[in-house]
Chain A
Amino acid sequence: DAGVIQSPRHEVTEMGQEVTLRCKPISGHNSLFWYRQTMMRGLELLIYFNNNVPIDDSGMPEDRFSAKMPNASFSTLKIQPSEPRDSAVYFCASSLMGKETQYFGPGTRLLVL
């Protein structure tokens, strides 16, 4: 099994630009989670989906952030416009709904200049 796949692994962009992060969950998993990791706040849950439906987006920091899951094998997290304070590592994780263990991807390291 390939595990959770995220792309790109690294992204450097300028303030004001649109950023799109991509995630392919483990095949058969029906829950998907987006997290952000910063030194100050650790791992924060941004949004999660069950069966492609957003269940809880209370962690999304601002309207500049949006996430979609058009099908069971793909999700995107978009930041528009990006700001320097968005610089962080963004992780995607997936699980079987009803199972506790979440499997994380390798993350996307985002730097907004």
Chain B
Amino acid sequence: DQQVKQNSPSLSVQEGRISILNCDYTNSMFDYFLWYKKYPAEGPTFLISISSIKDKNEDGRFTVFLNKSAKHLSLHIVPSQPGDSAVYFCAASATSGTYKYIFGTGTRLKVLA
């Protein structure tokens, strides 16, 4: 059973427009969420995170929104750039100091020039 779900395997967006990547989770004990970005032949790299005490966290062009009642989070990239083309993984943790993350299956974003 997938506790973290990314239901869109791929997404294409025009350069300069907004990219919205979605993630749903089922475990109400999750209290910390992250997004990682992965380029081909490289390991995932940390992008942005959010704690369950917040509903929004922003870092430059990247904003993560958390809707706890819906068990849903999203990553917004504005404006999208061709270099943002990558696979994006959502991850969640019922922290308690373990940082044991459950990852989704990823969404491949393609930003068209």
Contact = CB atoms under 8 A, between A and B. Distances in A.
Contacts of A25: none
Contacts of A101: 46, 49
Interface stretch (A37-45, A61-69, A73-81): A37-45
A56 B44 contact: no
Given A91-B44, A107-B43, A55 B102 contact: no
Contacts of A99: 99
Nearest to A41: B105
B59 interface: no
A31 B99 CA distance: 10
Contacts, number: 56
Contacts of B29: none
B65 interface: no
A106 interface: yes
B100 interface: yes
B101 A42 contact: no
Size class of the contact patch on chain B: 20 to 34
B42 A102 contact: no
B60 interface: no
A105 B43 contact: yes
A100 B106 contact: no
A48 interface: yes
Nearest to A6: B43
A72 interface: no
A82 interface: no
Nearest to A43: B103
A43 B42 contact: no
Interface string B6-46: 10000000000000000000000000101010000111111
Interface of A: 4, 31, 35, 39-45, 48, 55-56, 91, 93, 95, 98-107
5 contacts: A45-B100, A56-B98, A56-B100, A100-B32, A104-B45
